[in-house]
């Protein structure tokens, strides 16, 4: 006797996956920030809080929209730090922004591409990758060249969590939000994606996040479940 067929998901299949870069495909800059805070004797999470305070118009936001160059960012960021009770080197902070490629994430990106999923990177960055191609971490250039789209805040003048920024990624992939999974390490960036209908995965532990992605893709396969065996 054949086992009963599993019921098909009522949700549409996931056809594309969008990845954040820093803290997801790359190691998190907050790891470097934490070491810097210890060295300077600053409270834990001081830099993260600066990033979150007035998050639509602070130095980070203006850098990521291309409104400030590196010198301008350093000046404004250092002023914000002083107002919050700390002394920081803005240029040193910029040097900590790009981490190393996480091998398990790179493997997953290439696997998804091979299996026919649409894949995009959606990143808040201060300088376009085309301007720093000679200093990218090992393996990143290959990933940038392999995926279907790389959506950069520094190029478009918009950033997460602005809904329009996510819509650019969806348009580049040619998919609807409810057929897309999105991975990010910041909850504030996941909220608008979830509101648009995306399946969202918060990346704290990369391996756990990849397991959650695998479960989502398995539950909502692109080609649907196989038909039940013929009877009679």
Output the CA angle 186-142-222, nearest 5 degrees: 65
Residues 90 and 138 grouped into a single domain: no
Q: Which domain holds residue 103?
A: 16-28+99-219
Of 44, 70, 94, the residue that ends a domain is: 94
- What are the tens digits of pLDDT across the range 54-106? 888 999 899 988 899 989 999 999 999 999 999 999 988 888 887 899 999 99
* Backbone dihedral angles phi then psi of residue 87, each to the nearest 5 degrees: -115, 120
Q: What is the mean pLDDT of residues 192-209?
A: 97
Average pLDDT of the chain, as a whole number: 90
Residue 59 exposed, middle or buried by CB count within 10 Å (0-12, 13-18, 19+): buried
Residues 110 and 157 grouped into a single domain: yes
Using the predicted structure, report yes or no on whether residue 173 has a pLDDT greater than 70.
yes
Using the predicted structure, report yes or no on whether residue 46 has a pLDDT greater than 60.
yes
Residue 227 exposed, middle or buried by CB count within 10 Å (0-12, 13-18, 19+): exposed
Using the predicted structure, report yes or no on whether residue 130 has a pLDDT greater than 60.
yes
Of 50, 70, 94, the residue that ends a domain is: 94
Residues 62 and 148 grouped into a single domain: no
Percent composition of the chain: helix, strand, coil (DSSP 3-state, to 5) = 50, 10, 40
The CATH number of residue 74's host domain is 1.10.150
Give the pLDDT confidence score for residue 182 in this predicted structure. 98
Residues 54 and 130 grouped into a single domain: no
Q: Report CA-CA distances (Å) from 64 to 14, 22, 67.
A: 29, 13, 8
Give the pLDDT confidence score for residue 52 in this predicted structure. 85
């Amino acid at each position: 006797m054949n086992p009963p067929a599993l019921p098909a998901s009522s949700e549409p299949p996931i056809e594309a996956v969008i990845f954040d870069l820093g803290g997801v495909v790359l190691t998190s800059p907050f790891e470097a920030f934490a070491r810097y805070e210890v060295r300077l004797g600053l409270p834990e999470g001081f830099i993260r809080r600066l990033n979150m305070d007035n998050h639509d118009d602070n130095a980070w936001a203006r850098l990521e929209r291309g409104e400030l160059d590196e010198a301008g960012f350093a000046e404004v960021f250092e002023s914000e730090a002083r107002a919050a009770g700390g002394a920081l080197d803005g240029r040193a902070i910029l040097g900590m922004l790009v981490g190393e490629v996480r091998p398990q994430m790179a493997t997953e990106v290439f696997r998804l591409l091979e299996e026919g999923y649409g894949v995009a990177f959606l990143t808040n960055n201060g300088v376009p990758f085309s301007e720093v191609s000679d200093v990218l971490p090992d393996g990143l250039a290959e990933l940038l060249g392999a995926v279907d789209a790389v959506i950069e805040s520094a190029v478009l003048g918009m950033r997460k969590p602005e809904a329009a920024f996510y819509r650019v990624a969806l348009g580049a992939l040619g998919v609807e939000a409810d057929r897309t999974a999105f991975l990010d390490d910041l909850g504030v960036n996941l909220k608008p994606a979830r509101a648009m209908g995306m399946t969202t995965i918060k990346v704290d532990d990369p391996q756990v996040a990849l397991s959650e992605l695998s479960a989502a893709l398995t539950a909502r396969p692109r080609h649907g479940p196989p038909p039940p065996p013929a009877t009679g």
